[in-house]
Structure 1
Amino acid sequence: MKYAFSPLVFTLGASAAALKRSDCCFQLTASGGQSGSVGQLNDGQNRVGGGYSPATYCLSNGAITDKNGRGCILTPPTTQFQCDEGASPTPGFAVGEGGQVTYNGSTKFYACPAADGEYNIYTKEVDGQDKCVEITLSTEGAKCAAASTPVPSAPPTPTTPPAVASTPEGVTSTLTSYTTECPTPQSSAPPVASSPPPAQGPTPSNTQPAPESPPPTTLTSTTSQTQTATSVQSVTSPGTPSTPTPSSSGPSSPGGCPADLAGDYQYPHLIVPVNASTPSQSFGTQYFGEVSSSPRVCSLFNFDIPSSYAGSACSAVFLLPHKAELETSNYTLSTPGSGSGQVTFAALEEPADEKTAWESVPEKERDLGVFDVEAGARFVVATGECRAGSTVAYEMCAAEGSAGLSFEWFQDWNPSPIGLFVRKC
C-alpha cells in the first residue's frame, strides 16, 4: 500500500547478541470506539469491520507477522498497521497477561474509516481524519506475556553485513541472529536484517557516531556483528553521472569504488523523508526511502564514518536490483511514460536529524548530478576521501522535469542490497 511518505528507514543494524526464538500466535479483537475481530485484505491491510475472517498473527521478540509470513509494519507517516510481503516487521509490540496488545508500552490504537463499515488500524491519530476513534486490541486471553517482551524500538546503527531498521521515532537498530544460545541482548537497538524483525526506537542518535565496532565484514560473512554506520565525504566524480547498469560488477567512477557492496560498506544510520506539501512536518527516521514529483518528496540519508576509514577513499553507491533478485525487500517504481525516471543527489553541509522537515533541510554542499533509475540500476553517486569520524548526509529528490515519478523502496542489505550505501574502496 502506498503512503504519502514513508519512514527508514531505515534499515537494519546488526548486533552480536543472539536470542532464542519464541513465538505466540493469536487472533486480534478490537474494542472501544469500534469493535470486532481484525481481518485482512489480500494485500495485508488489517481491518476492523467489513465481515473479514479473523486473521492469525504471531508475535516473536516484539515483532508481529501474519499467518502468511508477512512482516507487520507501521507505514509512515501515518503508522497504519499492515502486513507486507518481504517486509521486516516493526518491533515494539507486546501482549500482556490479560491478552492486551501494546506498542511501545501504550495500549492506545486508532481505527479510521477506510470504506463503508471498514476501519484501518493506526498507532496514532491521523491528520485530516476527523472520524478516527480510539480502540484497544486484545488476543482474547491468549497467553503471550512470557514470550512477548517488546524489543525497544530504535533506528539503525548499521553494519557492514546487516541492514538496519529504523522507525519514525528511533535511530538505532540491530540485527538479531537466532541460535540455540541466549546471550543477553544489547538493548541499543532492536532486531533486524536477515532474521525477522527490524527495530525502531524513540531514542535517536543519528547525528552522533555509534561506538567503535568490530572491523566491517562482507556480505559473505555469516557472523552477526555490530558496526557503526559510516559516511563518506561527498565529492562529485569526474565526468557525467554513471548511468545505471545491471552488470554484477557494477560501474565505478575514476578513482572510486565499483557500484556494488563487495568490500566494506556502511548502511544509512538515518533515513528521513521530507514533504513539500507539509513543510513544517517531520516524519522521523524511517524504514523506507521515497522520492516523488507530486507531492514533492525527498529523502535524506546520514552515514557515520568510522575512524578506521581514515586515509581511504569512499563512494556513495545506489543499487536498485530487479525484483526477482530481492529476498526480503520490495519497491514500487512509477516513471513518466515508459522507461526510467530521473533523480538528483546532493551532498548536504550538515547531517539531518529525526526532526528535520522540508523547511529545515540543511544547506547543500554541492549537487552531485542527475541519475536514471530503473530496475537493475546501480551507479556511483559520489567519490572522495572518507571523512573518518564524522557524519555525512545526502539528499535524494525527483529531478526537475521528471513529472509523474514515484519511487519507494525498503532499504535493505539482504540479497540483493537495495538503496543508498557508502563503501570503502
Structure 2
Amino acid sequence: MIVLLGFCLALASCSALWASFPEAGLSARSIVLVDAGSGQILFQRDSDLPLPPASTTKILTALVVLESGRSLSETLTVSKNATYVPSSKLFLRPGQMMTMRDLLYALLLSSANDASLVLAEGIGGSVERFAGMMTQKARDLGATNSRFTNPHGLTAPGHYSTAHDMALIFNYALKNPTFREIVQTKTSVVASITAAGRAARVRKIVVQNHNRLLWNFDGALGGKTGYTLAAQRCFVGSAARNGATLTVSLLGSRNLWGDTRKLLEYGLQNYETLKLAAAESGSYLANGQPPTQPEHPPSSLFSAAEAQSLKSPLGYILQIGSFRERDRAESLQKTIRAGGLQAFVESWPLNSGETTYRVRVGPYSQLGQAQAAARDIENRAGLRAIIVPAAPVAPPAERPS
C-alpha cells in the first residue's frame, strides 16, 4: 500500500488534476462542487458571487413548506394573484384547490410558478412574509450571502444567492425524505379540484422533471433547474457512485448540461484524490465540518511495515495526476514531457476491478530531492504533485513512448 506524504494536489485552476479538464471549458459564471457528506469543497470558481438563482429558488421554497409542520394532504386555494404569474406554470384558476403534496410535485418537477405562489400564500399568509421566512431559513443554515423576495425565482430587485449558498441549502434539503423522493421522481400526476355544487371537477395534470440527469446520468439523485434571461441557466443537484455523493451548484451557465456532467463525472472519477486536495486547502461549506484532526503525528498512524517503507532507500515518486481513462493520463504525460521531464504512466488495479492510470515522475533517492523537484514542476508548469514513497513491488507500469 502506498502511503501519501505531505504534498497534496491543490485545486487551483492550473492544478494538475484539472490539466485535462480545463477550467476555461466551463461556461457557468459561478460554480461549486461539494462532497455532500462532509461539506468539503472539491472545486469552486467565484462560488460566493451574488447572482440571480432563477428557479433553483424553489429548493428553498419547498424546504420552508416541508418544515412548516402542516400536513401535505391539506388543500390550499388558488388566489387570483397566483394566476397572474408568468410561465412556467400549471395555468391554475382562482378558486381551484390542490393538496400541498401535489403543489410540491408541480413546484419541483415542472417548476410551476403559480404553485409556488399558492404555497407561499398558504404557508406565509402573503408572498412577502413567506419570502422573509425563506431568507431567515437560509441564514439559519449558514447561507448568509442570499436574499429572497419571492418563492419562484423570477428576476426581482434584491433577489439573489450564490452557488455556495444554493449547494448548502440543497444538501440540507436532500436530508428530508419527502424532498428527496420528489426530486428523484421523473414524472408524476397532480390534480386541481374545482368545486361544482355538491360535486367537484378534478383536472389531472402530468408534471415531468426538468432534470435531464435522471434519464441519462448514472447515480443521479435529483436536483433543480432554473432559467431566466438575467440568470441564464442554473442547476443544483447531487449524484452518487461507489460510496461518494457529490453536490454541484452552477449559476449563470450557457452550457448547463455540459458543465454539470463534466463536473460530476470528473468529481466522481477522482473523488479520493480531490478529497486529499480539499483537505489540504481546508475549504468547507458554511455548515460543513472538517474532519477531526488526529491526536498523534501522522507517522504513528502507519503500521510498522508502512513506517519502515517511508525510510526505504527505494526513494520517492512524484504523482502529478490520477485518471480512469488512459488517454487522459497520456495527454498529461505528454504535456509534462514537453517541459523536459521524464514522466511515465503507471496502471494500478482498483478493488472495483477497474484500473486507474497515474501520471508520475521520478524516482528520487532523497525526500529533499523530491521536494525540490515538486517545487520546480510547480514553478515551471503550474502543476502540484503528491510525493509518495517508491513501492518495493509495483504493478506493471506502462511507459508509452
Q: TM-score, normalised by structure 2?
A: 0.25
Q: If each structure's strand is expressed as a fraction of its own residues, which one has the higher value?
A: 1
Q: If each structure's helix is expressed as a fraction of its own residues, which one has the higher value?
A: 2
Greater RCO, 1 or 2 (C-alpha within 8 Å, sep 6+): 2
